[in-house]
Structure formats: structure tokens, C-alpha cells
């Protein structure tokens, strides 16, 4: 890879690494940071005293880049070069270059806070400002001060504000690798199009018909739009008169694509053929696609935002930042001068786009991260004053503390409990890890493990993922036992149990419209979660999947009870005069249960008075997704806990919430909670 820009700077970078504990390397996307730095360090024998870890915010990047490096070094992936992402570890004792997601490195540091299995840690793609990378930045700062051995930290980025990071790390050196970018002509639309898909389609076809060879990269917001555009492009290209244009191959690119489809973008096109790659923002900086000369930029990105005051997630299509727009344009100028077609007017770029993307830490629920930090026992610092590059808002930190308190992970003084410690060891979101600890007490751990595994698999059959599966689920073609009327969690359990009865028959999955890859993943995740639980319990647990044809009512009852404890922050009550539910919390929200639910009304046509939900998400309206019916008597103790909550004590006296004089909840939310037992929708 001698022609990659970073190679010319090898001496300089290695000299800086030799002399400094922390070095920031800024280089254009595709300059070779992710694939080359680890190899340079190996060449200089840094791998003699420990492995080189390279973190990636995205799972696909960890897999794809490690595969490339293994290829370049001529070794088998999983041997000397490997990767570890949540629930998938392809490394061995011989691995000396390890690509891993930032979340996996955080987890490793729980088991080994000094991380002394590594001689060098590279935090790659730091410009993405993922929540986990931001936490790692703070942890690295502490580790550098404390670790006796000679740990080296490299922070690499395509666009990051180098000065800011350098200041954060006591003015460490910043090395810039000048990119070999060719000029890119920017072409703006006169107005925003009515339909992005149609506009992308037309622009791509125009380029294909008129412009000389060179691949086209189109930035869309998500998988659905990508699939629609790919199919339209395929139709149009097929209908072109033979010989009127060169051939074209259309390639989708997004995070949920199977790995063998993802790597297709790295193969060059056959002669006289143009590739049209339709991608999410994954191709902005995470994966470098060579050969692109034309970029079509929709100007939007899909972003998950969390509102700490309502506990509501929204998956919004939002305008990109200027930095992102420039990154997208830059993809066109890697091999020769290119063109970027921005499907928005220049005034939108100058006046409406933010300069930089908002870091994830400022738009996420922090419960998992705060629990993690608490479990590290950083005695010398208050968690709320942890050294963040950009601090999260006090509201979101307090929201995290309240969430953790309600599920018993911290006590009323904000100190981590033994339950909290166990939870922190599980690679799950707090609601699910708490459910597992409680299920263990109620003798339904096996069932809870299945539900946790089903909900952790991103690509299986969560409601709404596949319309077909949804239809089948709802029509109950799956021949599930009674009891699925309790809701989606129970049905997820039953689906897995039914599959288990068939001895994990692949044909059964296909016949029932379930995703084979997703379900195999669930099976594996379940096994791993069992092992972790057994390790924590220091002994065997009853985690056998039931061979019985039907789950007993008692099992379902216990499981729902355990789920209620885990989801204490995510409960809702039915409203009498209104067709919907109201969430229990500080700012109750009027919501609907998502139509994809399998929750069944009773004989009088009424839905249950109380439900727990996995997700509260605002799409066209606020919806509860993946819900389960619960009993009012389980809600009472949680309500009491709500009302006794004192944020001042929880946050160690630096509470931010506007308090009533006794330091408890302010008036109106308290009222809402007190009335929680009496469904009422008049206000
Ligand atoms: P950076 O980290 O600076 O963005 P990378 O090291 O990721 O750059 O990429 C350097 C080169 O390696 C690019 O030309 C890219 O296309 C190529 N590359 C990266 N991953 C793969 C892969 N899995 N297969 C083939 N080529 C790859």
C-alpha cells in the first residue's frame, strides 16, 4: 500500500509516537489511517510488548478493516489479525493487531482497568464523536497518567478539531497528513426537491448518460430509501437501449447488509462498467470506496435523538453539518477531479447547516454509560464531573441517575449497588441486564435470557423490521402457544422456544418467514449471555431452554414480573377516555401502542391497564414499541420509589432539576405519578 498518503509520513508519525504518550493524527478519509498505522507499529515491534488495539465506532468498519489488514499481511483473519465486536470475537492468543468497537474496549477495561494487554491503543474515527469513543478519550487521559508501563495512545480522525483534542491531552502533538484530494466541483440545486429518491434517480441517470467514466456515490438516509432507489435504478438501467451507455452495477451499502454484500464495494468494476453505490453516511468516512468521481448528496442523515425530559427517542431525518457535506464532496476527488451534486441550494449549506455534527453524548440516553463509569470506581472523581471532551447536559446526566435508581442499580445516595455491579458486567442495556438479575431470583432466567437475546439482535424480527414477518406474527401463522396476548416480549420468547422444539431447524425458520442469519445470531447471543451469567454467579444456573411444548402460565407470570422490574423506567398506563396510554414518569406523554404489537385486548375489548415498553419512539406520532402487559401490584412499589426520589442526593448535591422545597419532584409530575393508579386523561 505504498501509494497511500500516510505512508510518506511513516517516519514522522513513528518518531512522534516514540517521544510522546499521546499523538493525534489527522488525515483525509482514505489516507490509510485505519489500515496502515497498526501495521507500522507492528513493523516497529510495538506488538512485542502487547497487542495494538484499534477502535472503531461502527461494527462494519471493525470487520472490514481487519479483513483488509489480514489480507495485506498475508495472515488468516482471526489469527494474528482479528476483530471483536459485541457478541462476536474473532481473535486468538496469537492476535497482535486487534480491531474492536469502542464499546468492546470499554467492556475490556472493566475486566482489566490498566488494559495492559495492549501496548498501543488507537482511537480511530474520533471525529465521529460516538458516545463510547468520547468516554474512552476521558479514560485514556486517566490511564496515561496512571499506567506505569509505556502505553501509547493514538487518536486519529478525518476532520476532528486537532487543537481541541491536543488541549485535552496536555498539548500533545498533532500531525496532519495532507490528503491528495483533487478539485471537486460543487453543483447546487436551485431548490430542495420534493422527492429525494426521484431527484437522486434523475441526477444519477443524467450523470450516467452524459459524464465520462467514474463511479457514482449517492448518500441517502436509510435502508428503506436505499432499497427503493436501488430497485428504481435497476429498472431504469435495464430499460436503457443497449449500447447507448456503458454498463452499470448498482450496489447498496448500509450497516445491516450481510458482510459478503458489504465487501462487494471494494471490488473494482469490470471494464467499461460504472458502479452506482447507494449508501448511508457509512461511506462518508467509515468505509472508503475507491473509484468514485461523482457524488450525489441528499443533504440529510438519519439520526437517533434522545430527549432526557420525556425519555422519548426519535429517529429523525435531519440536515447534515457542513463538515459532513464537505466529507461527502471529498469522496469524489480521491482519484481524479470530480463533481458533487448537492440536492439543495447553496444558502441551505451556508445558513442552515450546523458547522459540526452534534456529538452523540449530547443526544443519547446516558444510563448505560453512567452505570459503566460508576462501576469503574473512579474514587478520585465525581462521575458528574468526569473529564469529557464535550460534557453532556446536566439534564441527561440526571435522567441517567434517576433511571439507574429506579432499577436499583444505584442507591438513594447515587452509589452503585451490588445489583448495579452485576448489571455492568452484562453487555446489555440496563433494562435488560436488570431483567436478567431479577429473573434469576424468580426462577425464569432461561426465559429472560431468550428475550434479552431476541431483543439484542439487530437484524431479526423486532416489530416493523419486516412487513412479512409482522403479518405472519400478527396472524399467528406461527402456531404459537396461548399467552402471546401478553405482548411482544412473550411472543419473542415463544418464537425462539418453538424453533428450539424443532432442534433449530433452518427450514422451520424459512417456512415461517423468519431471518435465518438473525435467528442463528440470537442463538449464539443467548449462549454467550448464559456463559456470562454463569461466570457472574460463579456456578451453574438453570438456563436450559424448555423442551416443553407450551410455556407454563407461571413462567410467563414470573417473566413479566422480572421484566417490570427491569423496565421500571418504561411503564405506561391506559387512559380511560382516550384511546391510548400515558407514560409514567416526570413528564408523562400521551402515546399509542405501535400497531405492530401482538398485545391482545381482553374479552371486553380493552387493552391492559398497565404495560411496559421496550422503546418510546416518535415517528409520525409517539409510539410504544415492543410492549408487554403487567400487573398493577408490581407498579406500586416503583411508584413509591419515584415519589421518594431526591435528585439532590442522587447526584451528590449538584442537582439541576428545578426542585420543590423538599427537594422532591416538582408539583405537576408528582401529581401525575400519584394519580398513576387511577387512569385519567383529562389533563
Ligand atoms: P482511512 O482510515 O484514512 O480512512 P483506510 O486505511 O480505511 O483509510 O483506507 C485505505 C485504503 O484501503 C482505501 O483505499 C480503502 O479503499 C482500502 N480498504 C480499506 N478497507 C478495505 C477492504 N476491506 N477491502 C479492500 N480495500 C479496503
> Is residue 639, in this structure, part of any structural domain at all?
yes
Residues 251 and 208 in one domain: yes
Q: What is the ipTM of this complex?
A: 0.95
Our answer on whether the CB atom of 331 is closer than 6 Å to any ligand 1 atom is no
Q: In this structure, what DSSP letter does residue 164 have?
A: H
The alpha carbon of 591 and the centre of ligand 1 are apart by a number of angstroms equal to 45
Our answer on whether the CB atom of 30 is closer than 6 Å to any ligand 1 atom is yes
Please give the number of the atom of ligand 1 that sits closest to the Cα of 35: 6
The alpha carbon of 1 and the centre of ligand 1 are apart by a number of angstroms equal to 10
Residues 48 and 11 in one domain: yes
Cell of 661: 422545597
The whole-angstrom separation of Cα 552 and Cα 665 is: 41
Between these two residues, 285 and 337, which has the higher pLDDT value? 337
Domain that holds residue 396: 384-653
Among 121-135, 242-256, 555-569, name the one with the lowest average pLDDT: 242-256
Of 124, 153, 177, the last residue of a domain is 177
Residues 426 and 533 in one domain: yes
Cell of 187: 453543483
Between these two residues, 645 and 202, which has the higher pLDDT value? 202
Our answer on whether the CB atom of 629 is closer than 6 Å to any ligand 1 atom is no
Confidence band (pLDDT; 50, 70, 90) for 662? very low
Inter-residue long-range contacts of 409-414, CB under 8 Å, 24+ positions, other chains counted: 409/371, 409/374, 409/434, 410/371, 410/374, 410/650, 412/644, 412/645, 412/646, 412/649, 412/650, 413/649, 413/650, 413/652, 414/649, 414/650, 414/651, 414/652
Residues 195 and 137 in one domain: no
The alpha carbon of 515 and the centre of ligand 1 are apart by a number of angstroms equal to 30
Confidence band (pLDDT; 50, 70, 90) for 470? low
pLDDT digit string, tens, across residues 63-98: 999 999 999 999 999 999 999 999 899 999 999 999
The whole-angstrom separation of Cα 87 and Cα 289 is: 27
Residue 459: predicted pLDDT: 52
What would the mean pLDDT of 437-444 be, rounded to a whole number? 92
Domain count across the chain: 3
Residue 536: predicted pLDDT: 84
Residues 405 and 497 in one domain: yes
The alpha carbon of 665 and the centre of ligand 1 are apart by a number of angstroms equal to 52
Our answer on whether the CB atom of 489 is closer than 6 Å to any ligand 1 atom is no
CATH code of 173's domain? 3.40.50.300
Q: What is the CA radius of gyration of the chain?
A: 26
Residues 447 and 592 in one domain: yes
**pLDDT surpasses 80 at 22:** yes
Of 177, 192, 211, the last residue of a domain is 177
The alpha carbon of 19 and the centre of ligand 1 are apart by a number of angstroms equal to 28
**Which residue, by CA, sits nearest to atom 21 of ligand 1?**
68
What would the mean pLDDT of 381-391 be, rounded to a whole number? 77
What would the mean pLDDT of 25-41 be, rounded to a whole number? 93
The whole-angstrom separation of Cα 584 and Cα 571 is: 6
Our answer on whether the CB atom of 4 is closer than 6 Å to any ligand 1 atom is yes
Residues 148 and 213 in one domain: no
> Is residue 663, in this structure, part of any structural domain at all?
no
Residue 664: predicted pLDDT: 32
What would the mean pLDDT of 459-471 be, rounded to a whole number? 47
**pLDDT surpasses 60 at 320:** yes
Contact 172, 40 (CB under 8 A): no
Between these two residues, 158 and 670, which has the higher pLDDT value? 158
Please give the number of the atom of ligand 1 that sits closest to the Cα of 334: 14
CA-based torsion, 136, 141, 145, 150: positive or negative: positive
**pLDDT surpasses 90 at 553:** no
Write the burial class of residue 148 (CB in 10 Å: 0-12 exposed, 13-18 middle, 19+ buried).
exposed
Q: Coil, strand or helix: which one is 55?
A: strand
Between these two residues, 481 and 666, which has the higher pLDDT value? 481
Give the list of residues 6+ apart from residue 205 with CB closer than 8 angstroms, or none: 233, 236
What would the mean pLDDT of 504-508 be, rounded to a whole number? 94
The alpha carbon of 321 and the centre of ligand 1 are apart by a number of angstroms equal to 24
Cell of 108: 475490556
Residue 246: predicted pLDDT: 85
Residue 577: predicted pLDDT: 77
Of 147, 177, 207, the last residue of a domain is 177
The whole-angstrom separation of Cα 409 and Cα 421 is: 7
Please give the number of the atom of ligand 1 that sits closest to the Cα of 124: 2
What is the number of other CB atoms lying within 10 angstroms of the CB of residue 191? 10
The alpha carbon of 156 and the centre of ligand 1 are apart by a number of angstroms equal to 14
pLDDT digit string, tens, across residues 134-170: 999 999 998 998 876 689 999 998 876 788 889 999 9
Residues 445 and 353 in one domain: no
Instruction: Please name the helix (run of DSSP H) or strand (run of DSSP E) that holds residue 344, with its range, or none.
Output: none
Contact 199, 343 (CB under 8 A): yes
Residues 102 and 213 in one domain: no
Our answer on whether the CB atom of 38 is closer than 6 Å to any ligand 1 atom is no
The whole-angstrom separation of Cα 274 and Cα 607 is: 55
- Our mutation pick for probing the ligand 1 site, out of 34, 55, 123, counting the most ligand atoms within 8 A of Cβ, is 34
Mean pLDDT of the chain: 86
**pLDDT surpasses 70 at 680:** no
> Is residue 370, in this structure, part of any structural domain at all?
no
The alpha carbon of 183 and the centre of ligand 1 are apart by a number of angstroms equal to 21
625-683-305 Cα angle (round to 5): 35
Of 148, 131, 140, which Cα lies nearest the Cα of 165?
Answer: 140
> Is residue 31, in this structure, part of any structural domain at all?
yes
Contact 487, 599 (CB under 8 A): yes
The whole-angstrom separation of Cα 590 and Cα 519 is: 34
**pLDDT surpasses 50 at 608:** yes
The alpha carbon of 64 and the centre of ligand 1 are apart by a number of angstroms equal to 9
What would the mean pLDDT of 593-621 be, rounded to a whole number? 86
Between these two residues, 371 and 662, which has the higher pLDDT value? 371
The alpha carbon of 340 and the centre of ligand 1 are apart by a number of angstroms equal to 21
Residues 201 and 66 in one domain: no
The alpha carbon of 584 and the centre of ligand 1 are apart by a number of angstroms equal to 48
Our answer on whether the CB atom of 156 is closer than 6 Å to any ligand 1 atom is no
**Which residue, by CA, sits nearest to atom 13 of ligand 1?**
30
Residue 481: predicted pLDDT: 59
Distances (CA, A) of 394 to 51, 655, 659: 37, 8, 14
> Is residue 679, in this structure, part of any structural domain at all?
no
What would the mean pLDDT of 211-232 be, rounded to a whole number? 94
Q: In this structure, what DSSP letter does residue 265 have?
A: G
Among 414-423, 482-491, 629-638, name the one with the lowest average pLDDT: 482-491
Our answer on whether the CB atom of 31 is closer than 6 Å to any ligand 1 atom is yes
Please give the number of the atom of ligand 1 that sits closest to the Cα of 287: 7
> Is residue 681, in this structure, part of any structural domain at all?
no
The whole-angstrom separation of Cα 596 and Cα 95 is: 44
- Our mutation pick for probing the ligand 1 site, out of 1, 2, 30, 39, counting the most ligand atoms within 8 A of Cβ, is 30
Q: Which residues pair with 508 in a beta bridge?
A: none
> Is residue 665, in this structure, part of any structural domain at all?
no
Residue 657: predicted pLDDT: 38
* Percent of the chain with pLDDT strictly greater than 70: 88
**pLDDT surpasses 70 at 482:** no
Of 45, 41, 48, 44, which Cα lies nearest the Cα of 124?
Answer: 41
Residues 172 and 227 in one domain: no
Contact 398, 383 (CB under 8 A): no
Residues 460 and 329 in one domain: no
> Is residue 664, in this structure, part of any structural domain at all?
no
Amino acid at each position: 500500500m505504498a501509494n497511500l498518503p500516510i505512508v510518506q509520513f511513516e517516519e514522522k508519525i513513528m518518531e512522534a509516537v516514540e517521544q510522546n504518550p499521546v499523538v493525534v493524527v489527522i488525515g483525509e478519509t482514505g489516507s490509510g489511517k485505519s489500515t496502515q498505522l497498526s501495521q507500522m507499529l507492528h513493523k516497529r515491534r510495538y506488538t512485542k510488548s502487547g497487542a495494538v488495539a484499534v477502535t472503531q465506532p461502527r461494527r462494519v468498519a471493525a470487520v472490514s478493516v481487519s479483513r483488509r489488514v489480514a489480507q495485506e499481511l498475508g495472515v488468516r483473519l482471526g489469527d494474528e489479525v482479528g476483530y471483536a465486536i459485541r457478541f462476536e470475537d474473532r481473535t486468538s492468543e496469537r492476535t497482535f493487531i486487534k480491531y474492536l468497537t469502542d464499546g468492546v474496549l470499554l467492556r475490556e477495561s472493566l475486566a482489566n482497568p490498566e488494559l495492559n494487554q495492549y501496548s498501543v491503543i488507537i482511537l480511530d474515527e474520533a471525529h465521529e464523536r460516538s458516545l463510547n469513543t468520547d468516554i474512552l478519550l476521558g479514560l485514556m487521559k486517566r490511564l496515561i497518567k496512571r499506567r506505569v508501563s509505556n502505553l501509547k495512545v493514538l487518536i486519529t480522525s478525518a476532520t476532528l478539531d486537532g487543537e481541541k483534542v491536543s488541549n485535552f491531552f496536555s498539548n500533545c502533538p498533532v500531525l496532519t497528513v495532507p490528503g491528495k484530494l483533487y478539485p471537486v466541483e460543487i453543483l447546487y440545486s436551485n431548490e430542495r426537491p420534493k422527492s429525494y429518491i426521484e431527484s437522486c434517480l434523475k441526477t444519477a441517470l443524467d450523470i450516467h448518460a452524459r459524464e465520462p467514466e467514474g463511479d457514482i456515490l449517492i448518500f441517502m438516509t436509510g435502508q428503506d430509501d436505499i432499497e427503493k432507489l436501488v430497485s428504481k435504478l435497476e429498472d431504469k438501467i435495464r430499460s436503457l437501449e443497449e449500447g447507448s451507455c456503458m454498463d452499470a452495477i448498482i450496489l447498496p451499502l448500509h450497516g445491516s447488509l450481510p458482510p459478503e454484500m458489504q465487501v462487494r464495494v471494494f471490488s473494482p468494476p469490470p471494464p467499461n462498467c460504472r458502479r452506482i453505490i447507494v449508501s448511508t453516511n457509512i461511506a462518508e468516512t467509515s468505509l472508503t470506496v475507491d473509484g468514485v468521481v461523482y457524488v450525489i448528496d441528499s443533504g440529510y442523515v438519519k439520526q437517533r435523538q434522545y430527549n432526557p425530559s420525556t425519555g422519548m427517542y426519535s429517529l429523525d431525518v435531519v440536515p447534515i453539518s457542513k463538515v459532513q457535506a464537505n466529507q461527502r464532496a471529498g469522496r469524489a476527488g480521491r482519484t481524479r477531479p470530480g463533481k458533487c451534486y448537492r440536492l439543495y441550494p447553496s444558502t441551505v449549506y451556508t445558513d442552515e447547516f450546523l458547522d459540526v455534527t452534534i456529538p452523540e453524548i449530547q443526544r443519547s440516553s446516558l444510563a448505560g454509560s453512567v452505570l459503566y463509569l460508576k462501576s469503574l470506581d473512579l474514587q478520585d472523581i465525581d462521575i458528574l464531573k468526569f473529564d469529557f471532551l464535550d460534557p453532556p447536559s446536566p439534564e441527561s446526566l440526571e435522567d441517567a441517575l434517576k433511571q439507574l435508581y429506579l432499577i436499583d442499580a444505584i442507591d438513594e445516595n447515587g452509589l452503585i449497588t451490588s445489583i448495579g455491579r452485576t448489571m455492568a458486567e452484562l453487555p446489555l442495556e440496563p433494562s435488560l441486564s436488570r431483567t436478567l438479575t431479577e429473573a434469576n431470583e424468580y426462577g425464569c432466567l432461561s426465559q429472560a435470557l431468550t428475550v434479552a437475546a431476541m431483543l439484542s439482535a439487530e437484524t431479526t424480527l423486532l416489530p416493523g423490521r419486516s412487513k412479512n414477518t409482522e403479518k405472519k406474527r400478527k396472524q399467528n401463522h406461527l402456531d404459537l402457544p396461548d399467552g402471546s396476548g401478553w405482548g411482544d416480549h412473550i411472543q419473542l420468547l415463544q418464537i425462539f422456544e418453538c424453533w428450539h422444539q424443532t432442534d433449530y431447524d433452518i427450514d422451520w425458520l424459512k417456512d415461517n418467514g423468519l431471518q435465518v442469519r438473525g435467528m442463528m445470531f440470537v442463538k449464539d447471543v443467548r449462549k454467550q449471555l448464559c456463559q456470562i451469567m454463569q461466570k457472574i454467579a460463579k456456578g451453574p444456573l438453570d438456563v436450559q431452554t424448555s423442551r416443553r411444548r407450551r410455556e407454563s402460565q407461571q413462567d410467563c407470570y414470573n417473566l413479566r414480573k422480572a421484566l417490570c422490574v427491569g423496565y421500571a423506567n418504561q411503564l405506561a398506563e391506559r387512559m380511560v377516555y382516550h384511546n391510548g396510554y400515558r407514560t409514567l414518569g416526570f413528564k408523562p406523554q400521551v402515546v399509542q401502542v405501535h400497531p405492530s404489537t401482538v398485545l391482545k385486548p381482553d374479552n371486553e375489548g380493552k387493552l391492559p391497564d398497565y404495560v411496559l415498553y421496550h422503546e418510546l419512539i416518535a415517528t409520525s406520532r409517539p409510539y410504544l414499541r415492543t410492549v408487554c402487559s403487567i400487573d398493577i401490584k408490581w407498579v406500586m412499589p416503583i411508584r413509591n420509589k419515584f415519589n421518594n426520589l431526591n435528585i439532590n442526593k442522587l447526584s451528590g448535591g449538584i442537582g439541576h432539576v428545578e426542585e420543590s422545597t423538599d427537594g422532591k419532584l416538582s408539583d405537576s409530575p408528582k401529581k401525575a405519578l400519584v394519580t398513576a393508579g387511577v387512569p385519567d386523561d383529562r389533563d
